[in-house]
């Protein structure tokens, strides 16, 4: 079977990489993939993206960059590739920056969140439409997700189905077409990763009126969130067998 493609749009903190690996490693682990099951393309470093036809599915990682930063010369080629992948009917899931990039690429709009960043482990609520979604169908109507983002999908693409929201962020997850998904939360994060991001952004949290100690206290494991990545893999492989 064809491999999965993991598009690396950014990396975590250098000291975290030494301990835990980088975003592409976390993403592959959350998907339950072995090294032979996937290929990583680092678009942030300018690596060209291969044909979508070479892959069974694609995951787009998070990033510390901002989708709307015009200095990011690699974003425009990535947008064009996403459109090609959609036309080729390749299943895609975008995480955080990847979620925003998908929305921005496909007719929506990314931008800074009007109420500031969302950082911590928070309750995510599904919409009624999620009951019929291929990867959200087995997810509880309310579950916890790790979040750390300054920008968001301000507007979803025309025809997108809203799948999940949180108190802070109305567009936590969407699907466009048969199988293009965006999730603003981080299903690939472990609890220790979330604590690291809270610690590293403590000053920002305080500036926006947040309680760092309370956010650290309420960090919890998010197994229902992570299962979405496994179900995405199962969906892609099942689709490939049918074709």
Q: How many domains does the chain have?
A: 1
Does 58 have pLDDT greater than 90?
yes
pLDDT band with cut points at 50, 70 and 90 for residue 176: very high
Is the pLDDT at 210 greater than 90? The verdict is yes
- 63-105 confidence digits (pLDDT tens): 999 999 999 999 999 999 999 999 999 999 999 999 999 999 9
pLDDT digits (tens, 9 = 90+) for 18-45: 999 999 999 999 999 999 999 999 999 9
pLDDT tens-digit readout, 102-136: 999 999 999 999 999 999 999 999 999 999 999 99
- Here the CATH number for the domain that contains residue 185 is 3.40.50.880
Q: Residue 178: what pLDDT?
A: 96
Q: What is the mean pLDDT of the chain?
A: 97
Q: Measure the CA–CA gap between 104 and 154, rounded to whole angstroms.
A: 9
Structural domain of residue 201, as residue ranges? 4-242
pLDDT at 243 over 90: no
């Amino acid at each position: 079977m064809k491999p999965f493609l993991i598009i690396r749009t950014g990396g975590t903190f250098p000291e975290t990489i030494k301990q835990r690996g980088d975003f592409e490693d976390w993403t592959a682990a959350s998907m339950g993939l072995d090294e032979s099951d996937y290929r990583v393309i680092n678009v942030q470093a300018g690596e060209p993206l291969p044909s979508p036809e070479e892959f069974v599915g694609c995951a787009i990682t998070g990033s510390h960059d901002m989708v709307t930063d015009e200095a990011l010369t690699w974003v425009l080629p990535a947008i064009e590739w996403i459109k090609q992948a959609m036309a080729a009917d390749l299943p895609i899931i975008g995480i955080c920056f990847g979620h925003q990039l998908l929305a921005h690429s496909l007719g929506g709009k990314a931008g800074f969140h009007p109420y500031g960043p969302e950082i911590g482990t928070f309750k995510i609520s599904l919409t009624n439409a999620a009951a019929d979604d291929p990867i959200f169908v087995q997810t509880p109507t309310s579950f916890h997700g790790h979040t750390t983002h300054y920008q968001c999908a301000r507007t979803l693409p025309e025809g997108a189905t809203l799948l999940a929201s949180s108190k802070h962020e109305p567009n936590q997850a969407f699907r466009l077409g048969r199988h293009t998904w965006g999730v603003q939360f981080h299903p690939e994060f472990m609890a220790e990763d979330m604590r690291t991001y809270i610690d590293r952004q403590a000053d920002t949290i305080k500036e926006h009126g947040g309680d760092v100690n309370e956010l650290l206290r309420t960090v919890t494991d998010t197994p229902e969130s992570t299962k979405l990545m496994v179900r995405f893999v199962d969906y892609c492989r099942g689709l490939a067998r049918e074709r």
